[in-house]
Amino acid sequence: MAKIPIKTSREIELIRESCRIVGEVLTLIGAQMKPGAYTRELDSLAEEYIRANGAVPAFKGYGRDPKNLFPGSLCISIDDEVVHGIPDGRQLEEGQVVSVDVGVLKEGYFGDAARTFAVGTTTGEKLRLLRVTEESLQKAIEKARAGNRLHDLSAAVQAHVEAEGFSVVRDLVGHGIGRHLHEEPSIPNFGTAGTGPLLKEGMVLAIEPMVNTGSCHVELGDDGWTVRTQDGLPSAHFEHTVLVRKDGAEILTDYGKAGSD
Q: Which residues pair with 103 in a beta bridge?
A: 112
Q: Tell me the residue type at 15.
A: I
β-strands 183-187, 174-176: how paired?
A: antiparallel
Domain for residue 160, yes or no? yes
In whole angstroms, what is the distance from residue 90 CA to residue 75 CA? 13
Tell whether the model's pLDDT for residue 261 goes beyond 50: no
pLDDT tens-digit profile of 163-197? 999 999 999 999 999 999 999 999 999 999 999 99
Asked if the structure places residue 155 within a domain, the reply is yes
Q: Is residue 183 part of a domain?
A: yes
| Nearest C-alpha neighbor of 80 from the set 250, 209, 226, 247 | 226
What pTM, to 2 d.p., does this model score?
Answer: 0.95
Is 117 contained in some domain?
yes
CATH number at residue 246: 3.90.230.10
Residue 1 counted as domain residue: no
Domain membership of residue 257 (yes or no) is: no
Question: Rounded to whole angstroms, how far apart are CA atoms 190 and 159?
Answer: 8
pLDDT-derived band at 259, boundaries 50, 70, 90? very low
- Burial label for 86, CB within 10 Å (0-12, 13-18, 19+), is buried
pLDDT band at 255 (very low <50, low <70, confident <90, very high): confident
- How many structural domains does the chain have? 1
In this structure, is residue 2 part of a structural domain? no
How high does pLDDT run on average in the chain? 96
Q: 259 lies in a domain?
A: no
Structural domain boundaries, residue 13: 9-251
Dump pLDDT digits (tens) for 98-107: 999 999 999 9
